[in-house]
Amino acid sequence: MARFVALIIFTAALFPISASAKDTRFWNLTANTITAVQLSPAGKNEWGKNQADNDKDGTVDHDERLKITNTPPGLYDVKFSDKTGRTCVVPNIDVKEGAVFSIEEKSLKNCAK
């Protein structure tokens, strides 16, 4: 009986940790497959690592979500390149820990080929 109670206490102690440990994710709602995604603190032009490397095939298909790593919550500019050769910068994206942020095709204004 003591082992059963200890198991319940141990399981209950772990539950809140696993329930709150969600990954921060980027949701690609653009029209194309993305080949590179980098974040910079808003207005700093200090681009981090290619987050697309976190995906098993190194790309983020339309409607796919990508795990974002080593990025604390905050306001970021997001730069991405897609398979068509287009590069876009989307300013002032609010990245929250454990939440999903997305970029939609209709919001793209700063792109170049």
pLDDT higher than threshold 60 for residue 17:
no
Name the residue ranges covered by the structural domains of the chain.
Answer: 22-112
- Residue ranges of E strands in 1-113: 24-29, 34-41, 65-68, 74-82, 87-95, 100-104, 111-112
Contact 28, 63 (CB under 8 A): yes
Residue 77: strand pairing partners: 40
Instruction: Give which of 74, 103, 99, 75 is closest to 88, Cα–Cα.
Output: 103
Mind listing the pLDDT tens digit for each residue in 51-92? 999 999 999 999 999 999 999 999 999 999 999 999 999 999
pLDDT band at residue 110 under the 50/70/90 scheme: confident
- Architecture of the domain whose range is 22-112: Sandwich (2.60)
pLDDT, mean of residues 2-21: 51
Average pLDDT, the chain: 89
